[in-house]
Amino acid sequence: MMGLLYRAADALRRRRSPSDHGRLGEDVAHRYLQGHGCTVVARNYRRRSGAGEIDLVVWHGATLVFVEVKTRGSAEFGEPEGAVDEEKQKNLHRAARDYARRTGVEWEGTRFDIVSVVLERPRVRIAWLQDAFR
C-alpha cells in the first residue's frame, strides 16, 4: 500500500516540477536508505553560516552517516557521483563537523556516503556508495 502511495506522489511531483531532479533524487534516496535499514534524522542540514549543506543525515546501525545525493536525468555525461569533487567534500566535511558537534556524536562514529540516482525511464537507477570519502 505504501509503495503505491510513494509511486503516486513521485508521479505527481514529476508532473508539477519535471526539471527538479535534485528534489526527486533526494526523495528516492530517502526511501531507498529507509528500506535498507537506515533511520533518517535530518534532511538538507545547513550550518548557521549557510556554508555547506548535507542532503541527508542517517543512522546506519551505530554509525552516523552524512549522505550526499547526486541526481541526473541520464548518465550520458557520466555518473552522478563524479560531481562530488574536492571542494564539495570540504564543504560537506565542515557541515558534518558542525552537525556532529551540535548533536554530541563522536567524530570516529561517522562516515560519508554518496547516493547516486539516475532518473532514466523506465527504471530509476540507484547506487549507494558507502564510505565514499574521508
With a CB cutoff of 8 Å and minimum separation 6, the contacts of 38 are 58, 59, 60, 65
Instruction: Dump pLDDT digits (tens) for 81-115.
Output: 888 999 999 999 999 999 999 999 999 999 999 99
CATH of 19-133 among 3.40.1350.10, 3.30.470.20, 3.40.50.720, 3.40.50.620:
3.40.1350.10
- Is residue 81 within 8 A of residue 70, CB to CB? The reply is yes
Task: Provide the residue type at 48 as one letter.
Answer: R
Break the chain into its structural domains and give their ranges: 19-133
Q: How far apart are CA 125 and CA 1, in angstroms?
A: 22
The model's pTM is 0.83
96 Cβ contact partners less than 8 Å away, ≥ 6 residues apart: 54, 66, 110, 112
What are the pLDDT digits (tens) for 125-134? Answer: 999 999 999 8
